[in-house]
Structure 1
Amino acid sequence: MSASMRRGVMWTVPIVLVAGGYALFTLSHVPAGQAILAQAIGSFYQASASLGLVVNDIEVSGRETTDVPTILAALAADRGTPILAVSPSRAKQQLEALPWVRSAAIERRLPGTLYVRLVERHPLAVWQHAGKQELIDSDGEVIPIKDFSHFAHLPTVVGESAAHHAADLLATLAQHPELASRVTAAVEVDGRRWNVRIDNAIDVMLPEEDPSAAWSRLAAMERENSVLKHDVQSVDLRLPDRVVLRSAAVPPQQKEAGPAKPRAAGKNT
């Protein structure tokens, strides 16, 4: 190609691109043009399909909870769909609107594979606040599902800001799994510290400062002396130099009432 021809091509390509872009912009803003544009795009997709550019396989990684039909519905793609008609950006938006999906990435791997990579939320606890209960993930974000009866084994955290501090608390408790497995609930006190309930019966008051050390102290006491098996109602760990154990109050035994004794007869006056 001569130098003059190359210069001609260099000038022609930008002009064609600008003109084509202007034509598409104009068509998209005119009702009749929109119909023409939609028809042209549809024809383009059909032409690409005739060349073999259709969805033959959908690969999904990272899926744990979200069911496959829900993913396919979000992709708006079935086997045989023109692969170029699948919008990765739209599919990403639809997938990330699902309750269990934290983030999603979609790739078109030509000629016929859609690859979906999901990062799902992991349930951490049940958050009780304002008279309601919600399932939260490890970031303290609500997982918007209505039925979470399958997660009854998770601890309940109580308090307006408890959701945002739950991960730190549970990480502290997990340092001693044998004790953490017995935790059924935790109540945040004034947004500063926690009262932890063990075996749904014993309240453990953790300090605001260094709750990890206090929890380790209790774990050691339980391993060595099984202190939580001695009719304990509460454990106060808020003081660094002592542990205060309070036993459950034993109600006094009520005597069985016998038959009423007859009153002695009095004199008539």
Structure 2
Amino acid sequence: MSSVKLKRHPINKRKKTQRSLFQKLGVRRLPPFVVILGLCVLLLWGSFHNNALTSNLSTLFDTTMAHIGFRLEDVVVEGRMRTNKEQILTKLELKRGIPLLSINLFDAKEKLESLSWVKAARVERRFPDTLLIRISEKEPIAIWQNQNKTYLVDYDGELVETKEANKYKELPLVTGHKAPEHVGQLITLLEKFPAIKARVTAAMHLRSMRWDIRLDEKVDIRLPEKNAESALEYLLVLENRHHLMDREIMTVDMRIPGQLILRLTPAAMQRKVTLGKDV
């Protein structure tokens, strides 16, 4: 939980005419609940007349609420890890001293959820003077490269447009038009095979709705569209028995059930042709 500093709003520098108006209305001498009730009645009455009157009464209501103490003095944010606090204040246009009741909570929620890192937001008033913001942020699981741009992607395929994607080099790089939609399923699958997942450096989602994954930045594994889990189980057995990843192999094609096709590196192929030796 963090508290955000607010700039002072001009409402605190009241003009004499405003003060005299409050004094004439007897605001200082009336209990707050009486003032609030009276203004609510006025607003309800004004809503049946004209927009200009309603607007004036609404302004009077907000100003009076601030006058009797219901003005914004503090903003408390929970769940913020990556979202910049200045972004929050700028997005919501918050300043210290504005009437607490003038803040539209629904609009504030929508504005917060438009920020890159924010997945969901909840905004509450805590009387007399605090705005409580609870946010949940997106957790990146991969970096999506598309048309020379990079985005962070979370489990649900939501994107985080950031210039700091290079700080997440430990995440696999994924490509493919629909990669963000399906990368969560891929990561869930790979989590069943930690030894393989730890070596995945990139993945490509194909139009045929399957994945090619790259291990150790050198070996491409072509997974089948169906039964990819069984293919990974078999790959793990082969790796444990024959150490495929340590050999001069460029591609392991597992797309056809019951078949395994290995493609050697160009150097290994040349040596095999020249010397007639296996790698």
How would you bin the TM-score normalised by the shorter chain? 0.7 to 0.9
CA 1:98–1:18: 2 relative to 1, 3 Å: closer
Of 196, 201, 205 in structure 1, the residue corresponding to residue 218 of structure 2 is 201
Of 174, 178, 184 in structure 2, the residue corresponding to residue 167 of structure 1 is 184
| TM alignment of 1:109-258, pairs within 5 A | 109-130=126-147, 132-250=149-267, 251=270
- Greater shift in the superposed pair: 136-145 or 84-93: 136-145
Find the aligned partners of 1:247 and 1:57 in 2 and give their Cα distance.
64
| TM alignment of 1:4-153, pairs within 5 A | 19-23=45-49, 26-28=50-52, 37-38=55-56, 40-130=57-147, 132-153=149-170
Q: Output one character per residue of 1:122-172: Cα deviation in whole Å (capped at 9) or x when no partner.
A: 223222344544333322233233442212322122222222111111211
CA contact (8 A) 1:76 1:91 kept: no
- The 3-state SS of whatever aligns with 2:132 is strand
Find the aligned partners of 2:250 and 2:205 in 1 and give their Cα distance.
19
- In structure 1, runs of 5+ residues without a counterpart are 1-14, 253-269
State the number of aligned residues.
229
Tell which structure's C-alpha radius of gyration is larger. Answer: 1
Looking at both structures, which has the greater relative contact order when contacts are Cα pairs under 8 Å and sequence separation is at least 6? 2
CA contact (8 A) 1:161 1:191 kept: no
* TM-score, structure 2 as length reference: 0.72
CA contact (8 A) 2:150 2:161 kept: no
Deviation of 1:245 (Å): 3.1
Deviation of 1:248 (Å): 1.9
- Greater shift in the superposed pair: 173-182 or 203-212: 173-182
- 1:204 counterpart letter in structure 2: I
- The 3-state SS of whatever aligns with 2:153 is strand
Cα RMSD, aligned residues only = 2.5
- 1:148 counterpart letter in structure 2: A
- In structure 2, runs of 5+ residues without a counterpart are 1-40, 272-279
Find the aligned partners of 1:138 and 1:172 in 2 and give their Cα distance.
12
CA contact (8 A) 2:220 2:251 kept: yes
- The 3-state SS of whatever aligns with 1:123 is coil
Percent identity of equivalent pairs: 33
- 1:20 counterpart letter in structure 2: G
